[in-house]
Structures are given as structure tokens and as C-alpha cells.
Amino acid sequence: MLIVLSPAKTLDFESEISVRLPEIAASDRQPVLINQSRRLAERLKRETPAGLRQMMGISETLAELNHQRFQDWEAPHPKQGSKEALFAFQGDVYQGLKAETLTTLQIERAQEQLRILSGLYGVLRPLDRMLPYRLEMGTSLDGDWGKDLYAFWGDRVTKLLAEQMEHNRSRFLLNLASNEYFRVVKKSILPAPIVSPAFKEVKNGKATIVSFFAKKARGSMAAWVIRNKVKTEAKLTQFAEDGYRYDPKSSTSSVPVFLRQAT
């Protein structure tokens, strides 16, 4: 299968990577859609900090930081200042994924099976080196392409995912991304079905999605799939990390539901 995740706002470009990474060519550490990323970066370089603040709905401090990031942005990415995407993102999803616990062989498997959707990069492989940035997929960034990033990326992201699915002979795409990011994927172009798990907390007999826990569970499932070489939808229902259990009564083939008791 192929797995897709959302990126994270929280980044870590300071810590050293504590695991041994697979040996791959330097050219394979550059994001595949880097030329499109360069076009976006050039557009964003023209924005003032005040413009970024209004566009992204962020604080003055964050606007100044990201203005400088775009001024410094260059491609191809230099080794100094860039970092592998799987280890650069540090939000809730990546707390659940715990990339530093994966072995070298598992990271190599992730390189084939895992893709991170990105407002700036379109699609990132785990070992693609990226520069620090902030650009959410839902940002209304206009240009000659249209009014937003969904228009900018068009079919590019989906076609890249479809190519990898065909290469992997994927039986389905495991969607562990948020709605904001997965909206960029054009489902009709994909060569196999989509499975989008839901993770819910049960309290007083009622099951609800709690964003923080659901995000961590998505990362946990991604790591579990990679560690256990999961290939089928049937095997996916065996996921039982962090207290979650598959609930056949509330599940469908496209939305398997995993429940756990609220703490």
C-alpha cells in the first residue's frame, strides 16, 4: 500500500538524527516537485511580513520568522540548514509515529511506502531534505495558477501518488492525512481504492473524534504498518496500538473505525 500523512507546523532543525539512515543518492534527497516549490517560494519572497501575517493568520513574530525563511530559501537545497522530512516534522502525528524508533530497514521501507503532503512541496518522501517553512495547504495564495494552493498543485500531487501506487502494486491508499491536505488529492485519478481510518474516544457510551489523539493515532498506525509490512485491508484491522481496537459494527470498507476508552 501507499500511506499519506499531513505535515506539521512544529519543526525541529536543531536535533541530530539518532538513527542510521539508508544510503541513497544525493539526487534522491531532493523533493520530486522542487521546481514547483521554487515557483511558490519566489512568489512568497515578494510578500512583506505583514502580508504573510494576514495571509496565514499568524503572529507578528511568526510572520517575521517565515518572511526570513522565504528570503533564505534556495533550491537545490544545501545539506547545511536542511533536514530529512520524516525527522524535521515534530507535531502530534509525528509524536505518534516516533521516527527515531524505526530501524534503518524500516526507514528504507517508509521511503517506498510513505508520502507526506505539503503546501510548499506538494509531496515529500521521508528522506527528502527540506528547509524550514510554513505554508498550509488551505492557504489562499493566489497567482497566475488561480486563487489557492489546490489550484496550484492541480493534478501534480495525485499523479505522483498514482505512479508510486502502481510501482508498489498498492491494493489501496491508506489516507492518514487531514481533510485539509487530502483535499488536494483527486480520487478519480488513483488506481486503487482509498481507506481512511477514523480514531475515536469512547466516553459515557459515546464515541467521538478528539483531534489531538486522532492525530497521534494516525502517526502510530503509519509506523505500525511499516514495522509489520502490512499490505491488506484485513491485516489493517488488527491495529491495536495505544489502546485502540477495530470496531466492525461502526466500520465500512473505506472508513474502518478504531475505538478506545477515554482516559
pLDDT in tens, 13-57: 999 999 999 988 777 789 999 999 999 999 999 999 999 999 999
pLDDT digits (tens, 9 = 90+) for 146-177: 999 999 999 999 999 999 999 999 999 999 99
> Is 80 exceeded by the pLDDT of residue 263?
no
Proportion of the chain in helix, strand, coil states, percent, rounded to 5: 45, 15, 40
92: cell is 502530534
C-alpha cell at 70: 522565504
Q: Three-state DSSP class for 152?
A: helix
Mean pLDDT across 128-154: 95
CA distance 96 to 221: 8
> What is the tens place of the pLDDT at every residue in 184-231?
999 999 999 999 999 999 999 899 999 999 999 999 999 999 999 999
Output the pLDDT for position 127. Answer: 96
What is the pLDDT at residue 98? 97
Contact in structure between 81 and 13 (CB atoms under 8 Å): yes
Mean per-residue pLDDT, 224-241: 96
Amino acid in position 50: A
Q: Is the pLDDT of residue 131 over 90?
A: yes
Angle of the 211-228 helix axis to the 104-113 helix axis, nearest 10: 110
**Spatial distance between the Cα atoms of 177 and 221, rounded to a whole number of angstroms:** 12
Q: Is the pLDDT of residue 242 over 90?
A: yes
Return the half-sphere exposure (C-beta side, CA atoms, 13 A cut-off) of residue 65: 11
pLDDT on residue 25: 77
The average pLDDT across 75-104 equals: 95
pLDDT of amino acid 29? 85
Q: Let me know if 188 is exposed, middle or buried by CB neighbors in 10 A (0-12, 13-18, 19+).
A: exposed
**Helix 104-113 / helix 156-168 crossing angle, nearest 10 deg:** 120
Cell 502494486 sits on residue: 169
Greatest Cα pair distance in the chain: 53
* Amino acid at position 205, single letter: G
Domain positions in the chain:
2-261
Enter the pTM of the model. 0.96
| pLDDT tens, position by position, 85-96 | 999 999 999 999
Give the SS3 label for residue 31. coil
**Rounded distance between C-alpha atoms, residue 119 and residue 115, angstroms:** 13
Q: Are 149 and 119 in contact (CB under 8 A)?
A: yes
